[in-house]
Amino acid sequence: MAGAGASGVDWLRREGAGQQSGRRKQLAEGSLWRFNMAEGAETFSLREVLVAFTACVSEQREVRVDPYLAGWKGLVRFLNCLGTIFSFISKDAVTKIEIIENYRNSDQREKYLTVQSMVEYELANGLVDLQKRSDSGCRTLLRLHRALHWLQMFLEGLRTGKDNSKTSVICSETYNASLANYHPWIIRKAAGVAFCALPTRNTFLETMNVGTAEEAVAMLGDALPYICEVYKITEELYAQHKLLDLP
Ligand SMILES: CCCCCCCCCCCCC/C=C/[C@@H](O)[C@H](COP(=O)(O)O)NC(=O)CCCCCCCCCCCCCCC
């Protein structure tokens, strides 16, 4: 993939974005993700999150659900480290992650192995409500998918920002340009207040537990193309099936 690995940081190739290694096959099957997530409970490392997203896209360009959820779980852990002011956001993300995880643990788990198989299965079986809010996998994942767009822009803003830039400004600008369009006034207001509690860019990058701010920036540069790819494939799939406006 263009861009990935170009900076000479080889953690991505080692960890998941390289060839179809034995470990990647395990990742594809999902077992390792569930194991890791149970083990890794309290700590946060950006590396773990980014590795999860780099392992999402299969050779057939399908988006694997388990690493997708593992990536989000890691982000939620990070959000929890930032303080209770963010709990209303992490609670919502957890609810959505759990809805999809429950499908992955149900009798129909194989149908939810990839986003493509989930869409096909739910549409073919009339499980997607086009008129009103439901707990379908398609509708739930769409909320995370929209948030992934924000994440992509936010991480890019952090990566390219100046040393002394304000994380709160990067966060609110990217939020206003993406996710805010789907949120009512009250949520936008609460989010705006929470953003004010964010530390400066360099402190924020150091909180990611991957070394210095420069090392975190290099890692973001390596991983972002993979996050963009996950977003793009999902966006195209949802557009093709006219699912982008699910209530
Ligand atoms: C770094 C600071 C993180 C700021 C997070 C920015 C995103 C702000 C999202 C505000 C969401 C507020 C909570 C409620 C949302 C729901 O109304 C709304 C609609 O749901 P519904 O249709 O079921 O009613 N839900 C959503 O849009 C899904 C939101 C999911 C947000 C997950 C955000 C996780 C953020 C992780 C941050 C990690 C920072 C990156 C570091 C490497």
Domains, in order of start, for the chain: 11-108+115-126+133-240 (1.10.3520.10)
Asked whether the beta carbons of 79 and 89 are under 8 A apart, the reply is yes
Over residues 217-231, mean pLDDT: 94
Q: How confident is the model at residue 207, as a pLDDT?
A: 87
Kindly state if the Cβ of 11 falls inside 6 Å of ligand 1: no
For residue 18, pLDDT over 50 is answered with no
Q: How confident is the model at residue 19, as a pLDDT?
A: 40
What is this model's ipTM?
0.98
Q: What is the pLDDT of residues 142-178, one digit of tens each?
A: 999 999 999 999 999 999 999 889 999 999 999 999 9
For residue 134, pLDDT over 70 is answered with yes
Kindly state if the Cβ of 91 falls inside 6 Å of ligand 1: no
DSSP letter at 211 equals S
SS3 128: coil
Asked whether the beta carbons of 171 and 151 are under 8 A apart, the reply is no
Atom of ligand 1 nearest to the CA of 78: 38
State what percent of residues in the chain have pLDDT above 90: 74
Distance 180 CA to ligand 1 centre (A): 10
CA torsion 132-135-141-143 (nearest 10°) is 50
Distance 212 CA to ligand 1 centre (A): 26
CB atoms closer than 10 angstroms to residue 124: 10
